[in-house]
Amino acid sequence: MRKNISSASPFEPIIGFSRAVRIGNRVLIGGTAPIGEDGKAFAVGDAAAQTRRSIEIARIALEEAG
């Protein structure tokens, strides 16, 4: 069974991508950019904060995938 986890990007249906895809017991996460909840670039110039934000986005996708 396949489950797509949405990124909520307006480009997702146009380009055809998902934040993550679960197939069976595997979850695959695509490229994740440090985008803030407001849809804008997060912590410009702060690589450490951007890394933490990207990991947070991936963590949320993993929770959604179960």
Residue-level pLDDT at 39: 82
> Please, which pLDDT band fits residue 8 given cuts at 50, 70 and 90?
confident
pTM of the model: 0.82
Q: What is the DSSP string of the chain?
A: -EEEE----TTIIIII--SEEEETTEEEE-----B-TTSSB-STT-HHHHHHHHHHHHHHHHHHH-
pLDDT tens per residue, range 10-64:
888 898 888 999 999 999 998 888 988 888 899 999 999 999 999 999 999 999 9
Map out the domains of the chain with their CATH numbers: 2-65 (3.30.1330.40)
- What pLDDT, on a 0 to 100 scale, did the predictor assign at position 28? 94
